[in-house]
Amino acid sequence: MKRTIINILKQSVEKYPNFNYLNEKTDKGWTPTNFEQTEQLTNYLAAALVQNGFKPLEKIAILSEGRTAWVIAELAILKLRITSVPLSVKLLPEELLFRLNHSESSAIFISKNNFNKILEIYHKLNDKNFKIIYLDQPDQNFQQLIEKYNIPTENLLFYDQLINSGKENYNKYSEQIQQIISQIDEDDVVSISYTSGTTGDPKGIMLTHKNYYHNVHQAITHFQNDLPTFGKSLVILPVDHSFAHTAGIYTALKLPYALYFLDARGGSMKALKNIPINLQEVQPDIIFTVPALSGNFMKKILENIEKQSGLVKWLFNLGLKAGIKKIGDGYRQRPFILWRLILSLPHSIADALIFKKIRQSFGNYQYAIGGGALLDITQQRFFASIGMPIYQGYGLTEATPIISANTPSEHKFGSSGKPMPMMEIKIIDDNGQPLPIGQKGQIIIKGDNVMKGYFKNPQATAKTIRDGWLYTGDMGYMDNDGFLVVTGREKALLISQDGEKYSPEEIEETIASSSPFIYQIMLYNDHSKYTTAIVTLNDDYVKNFIKQNNIKTPEELIYHIEKSMFEFKKDKALRNKFPSRWLPKVFAIAPEPFTEQNKMLNSTLKIVRYRIIEHYKALIDSMYDENSSNISKHNVEVLRKYFE
């Protein structure tokens, strides 16, 4: 049997026809779609697309929040050997234009929340017959927008109407659809997923049926009995994100487990507010997260604890520290049984009185799987201690994306877990030679999960894939226990005056997690004597701190911020972890956060270094000026708003 997504769907329909695979919040509550209905809906939509002239090997984009129609749309176009172009809802109109033109997309499935983006760039599209497939019910405002932007009505299609039309005419097209399905090849491109462009123009990553099929089976084998068959997951991450795409949509399709999509009706801000509500409603077994999201969870928990009585705060901190000491690194617990028993008492009391309530407020999920970026060990220990463990993984879209992962059965905090089965992995030096255990170099992998290449970019493909090996551009090492430790991006390296290099991500995550003042941080050193940093602040915490501690001046506040940057050194495991030359000697406070709107964060919430450096070049230069009073004046001016 061919290794294709459509064959995974076929098997699940045969085995579990009545299992509710997709679940979406509507005005009527949570509305399920089982496997048999998924098969029918994708057949109907495929028939309607054929009826409207769509042909194999075309490309169709999808721009929507996670929802049932997103998955139905992708599975339907895959049945027609059409390639999906999943797009982030956070894209700006000009970014959307580039991707649609570059991918040669002939149509787009789009939701109401994102409709304006396509309208603004519609007449700039290369394909003058480009179709818009609207996923929601058109209203009066919809008609006004169509007229305002002069969109040809013959190029407008509606999801519900297509489903109904396909249902009426399916028998007419069923034989043609089945013939197309029989022609699907393992090497056919399922999706062109665009990089987030942290280092320049985005590249279109071609992932095949074989890539997805293989990575799904790698993940299931790796987690074995840790993934909940017939369990539930609340899909918080955007489904265009490669992590959510594979670990969510397709792994759930295979196991199976039920997907509940975050309620995004009303837009992204409404969706964020719905996270705690939906967690309570769904009570998921697992969730998928990224460090930016879990970091916000952690800060919200700590902010709420700060509002409690002195006794609650004391017991929380005592129990948290005891739990961290008892758990150790997760792989090796403390050797003395008596010592573990002593630690168990305060941890158990805090768990019964405080941690249990925190878990209940997050829907009592069993564990989270983290991806997308490096997860600071402070976060890993924190969540493990309160009974909401996050098992960090590592991957990149070019690997479909999972390369390694910690699991409930086998994990080590501070690592990215053990490599996936059925895949080769090496750590190499600058000359391409393999390095021994414990030595840091570039991570390269080989396996059926390695992408087909970059769309219309053979030069970048040849540079990234050599002799079947995917050169990840990430630095790391294998430890003595077989865990992969990822230290950061090669292109993000700090470089000292003497040419020594160091990855900044782990330091940045550590500082941001341990300092309640720091919201975001980017370290900088380009062949200089010392390292500097651009930081943004946690506004709510700063305001409360000023009020509670009667801070009178910006200068006094700066002292506390600077002191907090090295708070992590109180942790014995972190005290000597980072060489001092890579810790910030001087820092500048940015007047606003790094956001997707100012293009300093990408769609997966990673900082875009080159844009931050370009924007704050004068500020960075002033941190290397011998006259340090300039940067001090800048910081005072930024902080003055808190005292006005």
In the chain, what are the domain boundaries?
5-221, 290-490, 493-643
Q: Yes or no: is domain 493-643 CATH 3.30.300.30?
A: yes
Q: What is the Cα–Cα distance from 44 to 66, expressed in whole angstroms?
A: 21
Q: How far apart are the first and last CA of the chain?
A: 69
Residues 6+ apart with CB under 8 A from 631: 586, 588, 619, 622, 623, 625
Q: Which of 24-38, 310-324, 390-404, 485-499 has the lowest mean pLDDT?
A: 485-499
What pLDDT is stored for residue 198 in this prediction?
Answer: 45
**Helix, strand, coil tally for the chain in percent (to 5):** 45, 20, 35
Can you point out the beta strands (E) in 360-421? 367-370, 390-395, 402-405, 418-419
Q: Which of 33-47, 113-127, 292-306, 494-508 has the lowest mean pLDDT?
A: 494-508
Beta carbons of 451 and 398 less than 8 angstroms apart: yes
Query: Using one digit for the tens of pLDDT, what is the confidence trace for 106-157?
Result: 999 999 999 999 999 999 999 999 999 999 999 999 999 999 999 999 999 9
Question: What's the distance, CA 420 to chain centroid?
Answer: 19
Output the pTM of the full model.
Answer: 0.84
Burial 516-551 (b: 16+ CB within 10 A, else e): bbbbbbbbbbeebebbbbbbbbbeebbeebbeeeeb
Average pLDDT of 79-90? 96
- The count of other CB atoms within 10 Å of the CB of residue 497 is 12
Among 595, 598, 638, 613, CA closest to 532: 613
Q: How far is residue 382 from each of residues 252, 298, 305, 388, 568, measured CA to CA in Å?
A: 28, 8, 14, 9, 13
Residue 448 confidence (pLDDT) above 60: yes
Nearest 10 degrees: CA dihedral of 20, 26, 30, 34? -10
Look up tokens 């979406």; give the residue. Answer: 24
434 forms bridges with which residues in the sheet?
428
Beta carbons of 207 and 193 less than 8 angstroms apart: yes
Residue 473 confidence (pLDDT) above 50: yes
Average pLDDT of 308-332? 93
Q: Which CATH superfamily is domain 290-490 in?
A: ANL, N-terminal domain (3.40.50.12780)
The helix/strand/coil state of 404 is strand
* Cis ω before 256 (30° cut-off from 0): yes
Q: Which of 128-142, 454-468, 603-617 has the lowest mean pLDDT?
A: 603-617
5-221 CATH choice from 3.40.50.2300, 3.40.50.300, 3.40.30.10, 3.40.50.12780: 3.40.50.12780
Torsion-angle region of residue 538: left (phi > 0), alpha (psi -120 to 50) or beta?
beta
Q: What is the Cα–Cα distance from 366 to 375, expressed in whole angstroms?
A: 18
> pLDDT over 70 for what percent of the chain?
97
Nearest 10 degrees: CA dihedral of 222, 228, 233, 238? 20
What pLDDT is stored for residue 293 in this prediction?
Answer: 87
What pLDDT is stored for residue 313 in this prediction?
Answer: 95
Among 355, 368, 296, CA closest to 324: 355
Can you point out the beta strands (E) in 180-223? 189-194, 204-208
Residue 592 confidence (pLDDT) above 60: yes
Residue 199 confidence (pLDDT) above 50: no
Among 83, 503, 512, CA closest to 295: 512
Q: What is the Cα–Cα distance from 80 to 53, expressed in whole angstroms?
A: 11
Average pLDDT of 239-252? 95
Beta carbons of 288 and 247 less than 8 angstroms apart: yes
Topology agreement, domain 5-221 and domain 493-643: no
> pLDDT over 90 for what percent of the chain?
78
Angle at the Cα of 399 (from 464 to 221), degrees rounded to 5?
150
- Residue 209, judged by CB atoms within 10 A of its CB (0-12, 13-18, 19+), counts as buried
